[in-house]
Structure 1
């Protein structure tokens, strides 16, 4: 994919503010965040621990309501709807179909009683897209597992029988099953060793062919290879939002320079250090 943005905003955050009570008074975790996710792009949401990434993710997923500002999502070509948590079961079903989540601890998020195939079928049934036990649901689940490199030999395995990388890929397949327009992945390679990390990054790279991808991370080395655009949060504010290659070459904000400087470097043939 190129660094150019694709027209068509699928998901928007405007003026998001989120505060929590803390010892000594309120703590502002999000402070006026504006962010658009465009059709067909891959976006990294980067920042150190405590920058506000996880809170922003929960607000975008309609798991928390902001104290100010709004999240809106595209419905078809002409309509946009406000997105907030809702008490009524099924009120956000349209949004859960459109925006899917890959959690950080995928193994823990998988039902230990279900096989890999059944885990990927689960959202299809819950979102009313297919009947439980139907051939169509099984075929769609198998298709998604194959798409992320989980072969038929693993379709009957339960979470305890899967490696960390395999469980992560099952979670990615589960997110793809409803054919969402946006996938939000939370620290997708955190805690994985190098070979498993590469497998998961490859699976996420395949996601980009069918849906917009937002990767929430503090790992710039991972997202540099995966995301064409990077937005950086620092102390609850969005301090940079540019093509990843430009941000790496010329970080403008001090917090971003610190992240870039922390990247591992490899010596080049002319002696100049290069990103690993």
Structure 2
């Protein structure tokens, strides 16, 4: 059975029920007062726009957005650890007919920034153990490189009768340097791949340098030689694949031997080298 509620005052021009005076309200029956209060509360709520609210599609870490010039915006998020799933705009948002083009663009920008920030946390997690492992390998390589150069320079001060002994020390230094270079290039390739993955996920200005991550761990990686990932891959039509530091070291060894052979030739000692 339909029931009508008597109103003491007509609705205003916005369709809202004016708040009755206290003495008028007290004279109404309780069920009528309750219904009137509910109607007043409902009519006081702001009218929602016809466009869908995008809040349900926002990333859980999303806090707010502040508009900037030229239609861009700055997005703010709770800190990402990198252990969260990769941020990805929900598929439903792309097909939701209630969303406007501007709202989809805003969501797309939000998730692009979210992925960039997430990738920084991800790199910190993945690179930390590799950086700790790399530090002593870099030190070992630099010591082996220094020993090789010192051994070669010693030829300048070695008597003619000591050249063969010095050559033995040189070949031993070469072998140690090559082993250290290979070990370094192996760990450097791991770091290179991790950095490249972060760069692919990050937008411009959100790239995180390995030197920054290392510094956060108390490591100085400013002098470390780390090339792009492609430099660690075999080259087409190359008979012998050499990684970057190994390749540079091999070139230096060849130059040293070429110099020694030239000296031996000039001295008429073809059996020295």
| TM superposition score category, shorter chain reference | under 0.3
Provide the TM-score with structure 1 as the length reference.
Answer: 0.22
Select the structure that is richer in strand: 1
Select the structure that is richer in helix: 2
